[in-house]
Amino acid sequence: MKPDLLSKAAYYYDLPQELIAQYPLSQRDQSRLMHLNCSSHSIQDRRFEDLTEILQPGDLLVLNNSRVFPARLFGYKANGVKIQVLLLYPSEEENTWKCLLMPAKRVKQEQVLTFSENLQGLVYPDEDDDGIRRIKLSYQGDLWQEIEKIGHIPLPPYINRPDEPSDRARYQTIYASESGSVAAPTAGLHFSPELIQALKAKGVLFTELTLHVGIGTFRPVKAEMINEHIMHSECVNISTTAAEAVNQAKKEGRRVIAVGSTSVRSLESFWDGNKVLDGNRWTNIFIYPGFDFGVPDAIITNFHLPESTLLMMISAFAGYDFIMEAYKQAVASRYRFFSYGDAMLIEL
C-alpha cells in the first residue's frame, strides 16, 4: 500500500545511532558522496572531491554564506543556578533577543542572568507556543566581541558531546562571512579551498546568498499531517548580483545547483514564476511533495533526520520512492549521517 505523502509517518526510517557522525572527517572534501540521477534512476557511491568530474563548465553553484555565531551562552542566577541561553535573533526592541532557555522552568519570572563581568541579561517571563523567550542584554564594550569570547558553538542535539575549540572552524563553511546562524548550512561543510579552486579552474561558477538558519533546525514536525506544520521564519538576502547570476544561467540553459536546503528555500522564496528576485525578506516556505520547483536543477545536501522537513523537501525534489530507496542504501552502506556526516548530490 502506497504511503500517504502528507503523513509525517511516511518519512520515518530506521537509523542506527552509530551512523550519526559525532566529529567531521580530517579533510572536508574526503566525505563520501551519494550521487543520485533522477532521470536514469541511478545511485553511485562517490567522494565529494569527485564533483570536479561530475560538474560541468557553466554550472552555477549557489552557496549560503551565513556564518554560525557562538549563540549558546551559560549564565547564572543570583542564587548560583546555571541557565543555558540559546540566542536566536535580535528582536525589534534595542539590545533584546529572542532566545531559548534550558532549564526554562527555573526561570519563571523576570530574572537577571550573569554571563561574564561584561555581559548580563534580563530574561522576561512571557514565552510563545515554542517556548521562545526575550532577553535584554546589558554589556560593557563590544557585544559581538564578548559573545565571540564567551559563547559556545550551538552543536545540534544529536551530537552527543560539548562543543570543542575545533568546532569553531569545522562547524562552519570556509566561505562563511555573514554572521547570524544558530546552525551551519551543513551541505557546504564539505568544500575545501582546493576543491573550490579546482571547480573554478574547470569553469564551474559560484554565487552566494544569505539565509540565517534559525530555530526551525531544532524543532521537529509535531503535526501528524505535514501540511498542518508551520515553518519558523528565517531572514534571507539575495543580492542583485546573485539574482542576475541565477537568472542568466536559467536563460542560457545552464544548470543551477543549490548547495544545501537553505539555498533551495531561499531561491524558491524569491522565484516569481519567471525569475529570481533580489532583496531582503523573511521566509517560512515549507517544501514537501507536490511542490513545483522553479529554480534548482540539482541539489547538494547532507543526509537528514527521519520525519524532518529537510527529508520532505528532497523527497519533493527527487521523488519520495527514490529518496527512501537511497536512504535505505545509505544505511546499508554505512554512510555517515547528519551535520558532520556525508553528502548527497541529486540531479534531475
pLDDT tens column, 260-283: 999 999 999 999 999 999 999 999
Mean pLDDT in residue range 290-298: 98
Average pLDDT for 127-155: 92
* Average pLDDT for the chain: 95
pLDDT tier for residue 249 given thresholds of 50, 70 and 90: very high
Q: Is the pLDDT score of 218 beyond 70?
A: no
pLDDT for the residue numbered 1? 78
Say whether pTM exceeds 0.85. Answer: yes
The closest alpha carbon to 217, from 320, 290, 295, 302, belongs to 302
Evaluate if residue 217 carries a pLDDT over 70.
no
What pLDDT sits at residue 87? 96
Among 124-138, 200-214, 311-325, the range scoring the smallest mean pLDDT is 124-138
**Which of 55-64, 123-132, 152-161, 291-300 bottoms out in mean pLDDT, i.e. has the lowest?**
123-132
What Å distances lie between residue 87 and 5, 91, 154, CA to CA? 34, 11, 10
Q: Is the CB of residue 159 less than 8 Å from the CB of residue 237?
A: no
Spatial neighbors of 33 by CB under 8 A, at least 6 apart, are: 45, 46, 47, 48, 50, 51, 190, 342, 343, 344, 345
Domains of the chain, with CATH numbers?
Answer: 8-68+168-347 (3.40.1780.10), 72-150 (2.40.10.240)
- The predicted pLDDT at position 219 comes to 77
112 falls in which pLDDT band (50, 70, 90)? very high
Q: How confident is the model at residue 157 (pLDDT cuts 50, 70, 90)?
A: very high
C-alpha cell at 78: 543570583
Which residues contact residue 324 at a Cβ distance below 8 angstroms, ignoring those fewer than 6 apart? 13, 315
Q: What is the pLDDT of residues 5-14, one digit of tens each?
A: 999 999 999 9
